[in-house]
Amino acid sequence: MAGTIAARVAARGTVLPAGDRRGRGAASNVSGRFESERRERCDDGWSVAGDSDGDAAGCAAPFRTEVRDEPARTIISRNSSPDISFEQSINPYRGCEHGCSYCYARPSHAYLGHSPGLDFETRLYAKPDAARLLAAELARPGYVPKVIALGSNTDPYQPIERERRITRQVLEVLAAARHPVGIVTKSALVVRDIDILAPMARDGLVKVALSVTTLDRRLARAMEPRAATPGKRLEAMRRLRDAGIPVAAMVAPVIPSLTDHEIERILAAVRDAGASEAGYVLLRLPLELKDLFREWLAEAFPGRADRVLALLRDMHGGRDYVAEFGTRQRGAGPYARQIAARFRLALGRLGLDERRRPLRTDLFVPPAPPGSQLRLL
């Protein structure tokens, strides 16, 4: 096994057999940081061919997607982070079946008592009351409309949205209230809701950003096993553009020595597909993600793993990750400055705009509170 990263991963012994996690992004399912006991999946020899249940301890059971309803009390989350362009967000789901190996949201699953590894992409939570809760919050006296980001933590159009349709219900409430919304997704499923988004776009109430990490189908399949292919995302951009919906592209994350050489090609492709603006985010490895991403690198690119992590540490002062505002998304140092300069030059050459165009907030009409009389006008 090549490289010191791969050797360290092998020594930890947490990586599960590839056959047990076919089609998934994470390679392990070690317990989260808040658990008093460390649990690891194992094969104790009692499993038999065709037995999908495993033993009582959960050993050798296959990883299948499980969705539970979450009885949320509120639906709008708020933040005051100076390096984030929005103050309000909605996440219809917890966990994400796309299974992206680099997802910075993985550590959030530890708050639920689950592993940020395979649990994150197989033990999902849906918020079926999201639309009702949103209408109630928008109807509160004194509510001030600000752009709501849809999908700030996990993808609002992940595969389970096809059946649950919670994201669509949220959009219906926002459209009726004429409330601005920004959507970030890796899924081509967003085009399903063009009938809602196009009228909102005519009033300056919506923007859709599609994340394009790579144009290499094989690399995308390895990194983002259940997300739409790069080609499908570009086609979604075209369909959104043709419907008059403003489209942005997020080159996120940029992974040094793995995807950073594609920056200019990605920007040219998204421009041709209809994106009018673009931004990027450097790979972030908070908390448990640093080990999960190492496991993925050691398996998928063992000969390149040390180079990727060395460059990343160079951009974070010798550490895997720096959580400081202004640095966490762009990094620092010569290599980070080089990425920023390349991105900026490519934007100028291609006529793209890195600035985020504002959405309108002056058209907002609060929903009628439950039990109240209908408005006359």
- Nearest CA-CA partner of 96 in 20, 33, 185, 19: 185
Torsion of CA 12, 18, 23, 27, to 10 degrees: 0
Residue 346 DSSP code: H
pTM over 0.75: yes
Measured between alpha carbons, how far is 71 from 253 in angstroms, rounded to an integer?
Answer: 32
Beta bridge partners of 124: 67
pLDDT, residue 374, reads: 53
pLDDT, residue 2, reads: 52
CATH topology of domain 4-43+71-350: pyruvate-formate lyase- activating enzyme (3.80.30)
pLDDT, residue 328, reads: 85
pLDDT, residue 62, reads: 65
Beta bridge partners of 247: 208
Residues of the chain with pLDDT under 70: 1-3, 10-11, 13, 36-62, 354, 370-377
Edge-to-edge strands, sheet with 66-69: 66-69, 123-126, 93-94
Beta bridge partners of 90: 150
- Phi first, then psi, for residue 68 (nearest 5°) are -115, 150
pLDDT, residue 265, reads: 98
pLDDT, residue 160, reads: 97
pLDDT, residue 39, reads: 61
